[in-house]
Structure 1
């Protein structure tokens, strides 16, 4: 469950009137949401009093219980860390406000994030940070990475192995993204080799593997590509 930092952060939480006190475990204040043309405002329906003691208080104006789909995402070419992502569909019905958010996961504070609601997509992704119990490793397979000459051309082959391990006590959904080189020149040809079931984006070269991973489970696979180009040219391949 994702929960915003809520309630009031003092034992004596202020009061709605002279006798009724508000605690962190209570519900949000009764409010009316007013949708204007360019913004959303919250009108507090019951007067609320804060002590004049110089302390800082935080009060919930509203609460939403929003279903989310959880998955881990990793781009091992850039960072082998796996990030837990909460994906929320049809999020625009909740009048979410853009700004800094405190994130809690399973009643544990995991950090701060910027809630960016300037989306045109119907799915809002919220990163809950790295999870050290989901391990991803990307290594070059030297035996399958080579260079050779064919006539006036040079041909280079690259192969990679990806290993994933779930050290958690529950199954997870994991999305791994890698990338094929993209050639914009006709004399440079990129040919994918074994892609191990990846979904390939022709436009940007992205390779995406979506896989369930059982508790304490592990998987590994290889993928690779071949590049042919004039032997008088120099290409720096990963």
Structure 2
């Protein structure tokens, strides 16, 4: 949960018990001295919202081009709301960033996601109706020297 205008609540730094829908979730520490604009509170895993991320191997391609290997990755994320009310879900994933000039990540397709160009974090804000299911997709291609080994899992 993200709280804006939390300053008006007169919270003091300290430990707090977190309850969600009459169930104890756990304890958190409110660090109001270093929190800026929004206060973020973790509510744990919601068992009524399911998330499935699949590597669509049907579209996975490995090829050779000169001294390089090219690997294409295509992912599909499925969200399902098993609650009896609409929820707003913030879904995030990431495209890899190469720290090596020999390894290039390109041809990134992000679908409807907002992309942070610096961190390559993809963000979807999804209004998920009761009992509904949504699928989001993204893909990218990695080109690297065939003498190198990389792990994309």
Asked if these proteins are the same fold (TM beyond 0.5), I'd say yes
Q: CA deviation at 1:107?
A: 4.2
1:97-136 aligned within 5 A: 97-136=12-51
For 1:7-156, list aligned pairs within 5 A: 85=1, 87-156=2-71
Question: How far apart, in 1, do the equivalents of 2:100 and 2:140 lie?
Answer: 17
Question: How far, CA to CA, are the matches of 1:187 and 1:103 in structure 2?
Answer: 47
Alpha-carbon distance in 1 for matches of 2:95, 2:147: 23
1:211 paired to 2:126: yes
Task: Name the structure 2 match of 1:164.
Answer: 79
Separation in 2 of the partners of 1:173 and 1:201?
A: 20
Q: 1:230 aligns with which of 136, 145, 148?
A: 145
| SS of residue in 1 equivalent to 2:58 | helix
Query: Among 177, 183, 206, which residue is 2:92 paired with?
Result: 177
Distance 1:150 1:125, change over 3 A: same
Partners of 2:35 and 2:21 lie apart in 1 by: 29
Q: Which has the higher strand share?
A: 2
Which structure 1 residue ranges, 5 or more long, are not aligned? 1-84
Deviation of 1:108 (Å)? 4.1
**Count, aligned residues:** 153
Cα distance in 1 for residues equivalent to 2:19 and 2:35: 26
- 2: CA distance between counterparts of 1:120 and 1:103? 18
Q: CA RMSD in A?
A: 1.7
TM-score by length of 2: 0.90
**Is there any run of 5+ residues in structure 2 with no aligned partner, and where?**
none
TM-score by length of 1: 0.60
The SS at the match of 1:124 is: strand
Say whether the 8 Å CA contact 1:180–1:192 is kept in structure 2: no
Structure ranking higher on relative contact order (CA contacts 8 Å, 6+ apart): 2
Residue by residue over 1:82-109, the C-alpha shift from the partner in whole angstroms, topping out at 9 and shown as x without a partner, is: xxx2x21122243312221112334443
